[in-house]
Amino acid sequence: MSDATLVQPRTEFLRGFSMRDAGTLIGLIVILAVFGALVPGFFAERNLINILQQSSINACLALGMTQVIISGGIDLSVGPTAALSAVISASMMVAGVPFPLAVGAGFAIGLLCGLVNGILVAHVGLQPFIVTLGTLSTYRALALIYTGGNPVLGLPAGFRAIFNSSLFGLPLAVIIVAFVAIAAWIVLKKTPFGEYLLAVGGNEEAAYIAGVPIARTKIAAYMISGLLAALAAQILIGRLGAAEPILGNLWELDAIAAAAIGGASLMGGKGSVVGTILGAVILGAMRNGLTLMNVQSFYQLLATGLIILAAMLIDRVTRGRG
């Protein structure tokens, strides 16, 4: 084989993969430019860090959501999964359990919630939308029943200090999510699991005949989503110092929006870690800018809706040109 044949595909590879991400990046730049012009102090270092911090929880959830969406599914239960994880971790800490153990238990709850979703989808064969709609209510109910509807207050200072700390001037939450993003990128691009995910979502029948472990792949995607929901929950209760059973309401919609803006297709088989992160930052930057402009929350909602629709329209118009 000649070297020429090995070199050419490489440019093809870069072109094919970064085009959609470049589009999302342009979208982010446009939004930053608009707010930079309209809002004094928008580009202040402190505000930019604020945007990242405010985007971090949604980005964390959206990274898990991206895996599930690529597999051809959807996870509507991330908010209640986070709530259940949060109240259980918090009540353990309040009861005096060392916090690494309590946090570990919270992660285990997240994995368990994802496992239940995954089994119902992959082994029982139910539709992902309906399964996670059902567990959305179920997990929320469990969190409410467990706490009697009351917030769990008085988290230990040591735990709170960790999640409120900064490294190199960046909040720990941002750094954690950055690591998660790198890990997610590696998983998607560099591991067999990533290839399986794209294949299962892209053509399940063909993937099955090619020997891809369909059920295992799908279950793993839901478990990753559950785990990242639990991580988001720990970040939030660390910041707030309390865990409410109703936390994470409508988180799933922001996460889906970030993934979709970033180029994930709800038909499955398509999605990008870089795009999802950019999508989450777009949503975060927009909310931050509108808040600084003192725009009523009604209009923030409107802006969110329009951005999602605009991203999808641009997607539709540019598709089929590659």
Partner 1 sequence: MSVRLQFDGISKLFPAVRALHEVSFSVGAGEIHGLLGENGAGKSTLLRILSGVYRPTAGSVLIDGKPVTLANPVAARAAGVAMIHQELQQVPRLSVAQNMFLGHPLTRGSIFVARREQERRAAEALAAIGPSIDPAAPLSTLKVAQRQMVEIARALLDRARIVAMDEPTSSLTPSEFERLAEVIKGLARDGVAIVYVSHKLDEVFGICRRATIMRDGIVVDSVDLKSLSEKAVVAMMVGRELAQEQHNSHASSQVMLSVRGLASTKVRDVSFDLHRGEVLGIAGLVGSGRTELLRLLAGVDRATTGSIVINGKAIKPASPRDAIAAGIGLVPEERKREGIVPLRSITSNMALASMSVFAPHGIIDHRGLKQIAAEKMKRVNLRPFLLDRPIRLFSGGNQQKAIIGRWLAAGTRILLFDEPTRGIDVGAKAEIYHLIEELAAEGHSVVVVSSELPEVIRLADRVLVMRDGAIAAELGRADLSEQAIAAHAIPQTRTPAAEPARQ
Site residues, partner 1 (CB under 8 A): 1, 5-6, 8-10, 12-13, 16, 186, 190-192, 195-196, 198-199, 202-203, 205-213, 269-270
Helices (H), 167-296: 172-190, 192-202, 204-209, 214-240, 251-261, 273-292
Q: Tell me the sheet residues that pair with 152.
A: 243
Residue 51, both tokens: 């945007």
Which tokens sit at 289? 């800018």
Residue closer to partner 1 by CB (options 57, 224) is: 224
Q: Compute the least distance from the CB of residue 198 to partner 1, in Å.
A: 6
- 187's tokens: 């998983």
Q: Which of 5, 32, 41, 105 is nearest to 281 (CA)?
A: 32
- Smaller CB separation from partner 1, 94 or 214: 214
Shortest separation between residue 102's beta carbon and partner 1, angstroms: 30
- Residue 286 and residue 302: Cα distance in Å, rounded? 11
CB of 214 to partner 1, least distance (A): 9
With respect to partner 1, which residue has the nearer C-beta, 166 or 191? Answer: 191
Closest to partner 1 by CB, 37 or 209: 209
Distance CA 175, CA 53 (A): 9
Closest approach of partner 1 to the CB of residue 68, in Å: 17
Residue 272 has, within 13 A of its CA and on its CB side, a CA count of 20
With contact defined as beta carbons under 8 Å apart, do 103 and 224 qualify?
Answer: no
CB of 210 to partner 1, least distance (A): 4
Please identify, using beta-carbon distances, which residue of 114 and 269 lies nearer to partner 1.
269
Residue 117 and residue 287 in contact, taking contact as beta carbons nearer than 8 Å: no
